[in-house]
Structure 1
Amino acid sequence: MAVAVVILTTALVIVVALLAAAGAGKLARMDGATYPAALTRAATTFATVITLAATVTATLTALLS
């Protein structure tokens, strides 16, 4: 049961990160950025969301232990 929760949560975080990255890339393109610049912004957003999720997980783990 616990493994399934971890897998589903991980999948949800990745989907949210991908959606945020796609949104950031689209907004960058609409703002007139070149494709490489838009891809860089999307990659930065993806990495930021993943890092934020890892930080929140580490903090919650420390508080609940």
Structure 2
Amino acid sequence: MLLEAGEADEACAEMSRVLDACVGISSPPLASKVLSFGRTAARLDSKATRDCVARIHEVVRGDPE
């Protein structure tokens, strides 16, 4: 996984492309995995990860942060 390899910017760019392809995430297992990625990314606390986490919340939860 890119986050585990220390490639946070690249991992978040990939997640952004995935989220761009989604209108919303209605599958609870998929939403759980995306939110888990967001929790891991949030621990890294960079601009890229903060933006990624905000986007995840927007798409999965409908929360604009």
Please indicate, yes or no, whether the TM-score normalized by the shorter chain is above 0.5. no
- Give the TM bin, normalised by the shorter chain: 0.3 to 0.5
- Structure index of larger Rg: 1
Which of the two has greater helix per residue?
1
TM norm structure 2: 0.32
